[in-house]
A and B are shown apart, each in its own frame.
Chain A
Amino acid sequence: MKRDCLLAVGWLAALSAAAVLAPFLLTNKSGAVDFSHLLEAPSRFHWFGTDALGRDLFARILVATSISLTVAWVAVILSVFLGVVIGAVAGYFGGGWDRSLMAFVNIMLCFPVFFLILSVIAVLGPNIFNVMVIIGATSWMGTARLVRAEVLSLKEREFVLAARALGASHARIIFRHLVPNAMGPVIVNAVLGLAAAVLVESGLSFLGIGVQPPTPSWGNLLSDGKGVLGVAWWLTFFPGVMIFLTILSANTLGEALQSKNDS
């Protein structure tokens, strides 16, 4: 279990480093179209092979890593923000706030998420910004429920009473005293949410309604490879491995944190 976690953290750290360093590692020529090297299998010169336009897949994947990770992180941060605010307000103020916000949560939970995301994209159009916002805006419900439950029990504690007696405002009580104490399960949810966000983004981009080419993302690289499936296995293999290992790592880490939280 511990070894799995270390591997997971190592993979995510290496990816983040690669994503940040990608602009410095690549020159103008890397990932450029090169008609003398079309669909070449992985070799010493092109570690992951080249695509149908002779572009080096390794360079493309490096850029895609920074794009896909950015999309996933922004989506998760948005989702955590929405979940924390909505859950905390519902739990803290109770009464009508609680009932209406939780009704909203229940309604949102009725939609098959993928259907909702696709509908919004159909209306707003596919681009990287919309994808981030939509994934974030459709995945906060679990966090909201968790935070609400935590806040409901925390707000009865003495330290909240003390803060109130000292004249702290509602906002200060919520964000300085309640939310930090409820962060444990939220972080678990965020890590598992990262896995889900990577999956949804790559799924959308794979279908052609996520990140739009020529901007590479793991999903649209995979969809490029689909056309030459029988000829160039590396074009579907490597982007898929990136997605798979990232989701696997985030899930492993999330579950380890969860069992640590529970015990």
Chain B
Amino acid sequence: MPIYFLKRVLGLIPLFIGITFISFLVIHLAPGSPVDAKGEFNPKMTLQAREKLRELYGLDRPLLEQYGQWTKKIIRFDFGNSFVDGEKVTSKIGKAVPVTLSISVLTLLCVLAAGIGLGVFGAVHEGSRTDRWLTFLALAGFSVPTFWISLLLMNAFGVQLRLLPVSGLYSVNFDDLNAWEKAVDIARHLVLPVAVASITGVAGISRYMRNSLLNELKQDYVRTARAKGLPEKRVLYHHALKNALLPIVTILGLSVPGLLGGSVIFESIFSIPGMGRLFFNSVFARDYPVIMGILVLGAFLTLLGNLLADLTYSVVDPRIRLK
């Protein structure tokens, strides 16, 4: 196990170099240079000022040297300062991460609970009318654009019924509320975003779970368990479900890029101050240091997610380690 672990971790190093290199190239795709792009917003910027900026970001050096400098900084978690307000990129991201992270965790919990439940139900009642409906709904949920569903739900629950708030994380009078009311307030603000963010995941996991369980139920050991007279419930939940859940474990790790990418859309719709919205605003403002910071961080989180998925899988299914 330690050797497997070490191998996997060492394998990350070339990937990390690749990630930083591609991120670095992305910013140099700009016709001219990032300094020109920044200049667009400020036509009064003098030639000298541009030169200064160029020096500050090391843009007058050869490309590979710039890359070296930049990577050195990144390893020390120094992504520079925002073009927009000069705030440190790490502090900007640091403020946004907890918001996105807590929403992601809530979303994952919803996805797992609903997805596994629906998937098991579908597999147990394979071919029934409900199962056929669930299968269709899962495909529909997988296909529906989340931003459209967000608008429909915002209109229904926020505008027409006035049941739920549709933007931000707090109400205006948040500071006047007591602790209990504060919790309720945040919870009410989170209902729609978490519901919307869960749709694709629930659809995906329930399909996956259904197929995985159906596959297990066809195995010999299930027939053996039934043949020796175990009650169906025990066969299902004790024998088959345990094994059917194994592949789901990896999905947790692999869902990182989806959660991050999705956060851009629903955080901007619901005005939630997380990573997605920070990223979106930075894209609009062409705030390159922030964009690069989030891009590298996102790729790094994906990498960690993949690693975690592999490692957990090798823990729950020891056969994997033999490879």
> What is the interface of chain A, defined by CB distance below 8 A to chain B?
103-104, 106-108, 110-116, 118-124, 195, 199, 202-203, 206-209, 222, 225-226, 229-230, 233, 236-237, 239-240, 243-244, 247-248, 251-252, 255
| The residue from A111, A123, A243, A252 contacting B22, defined by CB atoms under 8 A apart | A111
Interchain CB contact under 8 A, B30 and A229: no
Q: Is the CB of A206 within 8 A of B147?
A: yes
Do the beta carbons of A111 and B159 come within 8 Å of each other? no
Q: Given A113-B257, A119-B291, A229-B154, A243–B145 Cβ distance below 8 Å?
A: yes
B29 close to A123 (CB less than 8 A)? yes
A118-B283, A251-B139 given; 9 more Cβ-contact pairs under 8 Å: A110-B18, A112-B261, A116-B295, A118-B264, A119-B291, A120-B29, A203-B265, A226-B151, A230-B159
Partner pick for B152 among A107, A120, A240, CB 8 A cutoff: A240
Interface: B298 (CB within 8 A): yes
Q: B143, A111: Cβ atoms under 8 Å?
A: no
Q: How many residues of B contact A (CB 8 A)?
A: 51
Q: Which of A111, A114, A233 contacts B299 (CB 8 A)?
A: A111
Which of B140, B147, B302 sits near A110, CB closer than 8 Å? B302
Whether a CB of chain A sits under 8 angstroms from the CB of B196 is no
Shortest Cβ distance from B310 into chain A, in angstroms?
Answer: 13
Q: Which residues of A contact B139 (CB under 8 A)?
A: 248, 251-252, 255
- Nearest 6 interchain pairs by C-beta: A114-B261, A107-B18, A240-B148, A112-B257, A230-B159, A248-B143
Instruction: Tell me what chain B mostly uses at the interface: helix, strand, loop, or mixed.
Output: helix
- Say what secondary structure dominates the interface of chain A: helix
What residue of chain A has the Cβ atom nearest to residue B155's Cβ?
Answer: A229
Q: Are B144 and A244 in contact (CB under 8 A)?
A: yes
B19 near A: Cβ within 8 Å?
A: yes
Q: B143 contacts A251, CB within 8 Å?
A: yes
CB distance from B284 to the nearest CB of A (A): 7
Asked if B279 CB lies within 8 Å of chain A CBs, one says: yes
Contact, CB under 8 Å: B283 / A209? yes
- Bound-complex Cα distance A209 to B282 (A): 12
* B131-169 residues at the A interface, CB under 8 angstroms: 139-140, 142-145, 147-148, 151-152, 154-155, 159-160
In the docked arrangement, what's the CA distance between A225 and B147, Å?
A: 12
Q: Are A123 and B26 in contact (CB under 8 A)?
A: yes
B57 lies within 8 A of chain A by Cβ: no
